[in-house]
Amino acid sequence: MSSWVLVTGGATRLGREIALAFAKAGWSLICHYRNSEGEARKLCDEALALGVQAHPLYAELESEQSCDELFKRTLELSGENLCSIVNNASLFIADNAHDFQESQALQQLNVNLMAPMRFGKWFYEAVANRQASKASKLPQLPEKHSPSIIHILDQKVFNLNPDYFSYTVSKLALERIVALQAQSFGPHIRVNAVSPGLIYQSGPQNLDNFKIASKANLMGAPIEPAQVAQSALFLAQNPCITGNTIKVDNGQHLVPSARDIMFVADKLSSK
Ligand SMILES: NC(=O)c1ccc[n+]([C@@H]2O[C@H](COP(=O)([O-])OP(=O)(O)OC[C@H]3O[C@@H](n4cnc5c(N)ncnc54)[C@H](OP(=O)(O)O)[C@@H]3O)[C@@H](O)[C@H]2O)c1
């Protein structure tokens, strides 16, 4: 019986890399999507071809009810074998402390922070119940993988600048939640995070700007999405790690920038 992973926003970009890394390692997959249904179905077909089970599931993560439906369906499909949740889905909207729109700030807090908080609460309950019920039966079968949650952060939380204000606030809180959930959920669930640097073109960024920005780190090189995904898989499969964050950013968090790298990349090229 294989372990199952729920990857939120798993259909495209980093979520797709993470989902495929788990599937290649033999994990069955729930690929959550909102708009990218076609990509989610294609990814699940690829995972099935690898010999694991895979299901695409829709949810609007701004809504508690939709999160609840996603989680309940995930438990039904994975049975007693949901062993990891990767909170990858996120909203990334440009704003600052002077001009943020209340509704957009709340959207980002809901998707980037509240959804991972909800899944944590429900996953803890499910794992604690199943472990209690297994403990009452003999012989006891050990779980293949120790249950864990992995939050996807952003190097921004270790390298502050005032751009993308609401997004950064949501990720700062998520970074603190790693320790709080690890303390709350042990010994049933481990909680860790991966903190990537700039990996993909986002928002209004053009390709030329991205090419410069993606090398503005200590290694002078773009970050491989597959390496970020492998780090998430490592955390899911190492039963001795909880309360930790792995920074997979080529050292970008040690390169201070007064503004988001997108806004200074053009100046870097003219130096
Ligand atoms: N991109 C980077 O360079 C970078 C850098 C540092 C950290 N990160 C972090 O890495 C993770 C992945 O980054 P990414 O750029 O690959 O993400 P992304 O493409 O911006 O978003 C990932 C997915 O989140 C889902 N999503 C957004 N709003 C949603 C909502 N309201 N309800 C449900 N799903 C929603 C979307 O799924 P659908 O497409 O199905 O709608 C989207 O494809 C994020 O947590 C991000 O903060 C990214």
pTM over 0.85: yes
Q: What is the whole-number distance in angstroms between the Cα of residue 135 and the centre of ligand 1?
A: 38
pLDDT exceeds cutoff 80 at 70: yes
Q: Residue range 31-50: average pLDDT? A: 98
Mean pLDDT of all residues in the chain? 95
Q: What percent of the chain has pLDDT over 90?
A: 89
Q: What is the whole-number distance in angstroms between the Cα of residue 242 and the centre of ligand 1?
A: 24
Q: Residue range 52-62: average pLDDT? A: 98
Q: Which amino acid is at 25?
A: A
What's the CA gap between 253 and 193, in Å, rounded?
Answer: 15
- 4-208+223-254 in CATH: which number? 3.40.50.720
Ligand 1 in contact with 35 (CB < 6 A)? yes
Per DSSP, the residues of 81-125 read -EEEEEE---------TTT--HHHHHHHHIIIIIHHHHHHHHHHH
Instruction: Identify the helix (H) or strand (E) that includes residue 210.
Output: helix 207-213
Is the Cβ–Cβ distance between 144 and 1 less than 8 Å? yes
| CB crowding 187-204: b at 16 or more within 10 Å, else e | ebbbbbbbbbbbbebeee
**Domain ranges (residues) in the chain:** 4-208+223-254
The string of pLDDT tens digits covering residues 247-262 is: 999 999 999 999 998 8
Specify the pLDDT at position 141: 57
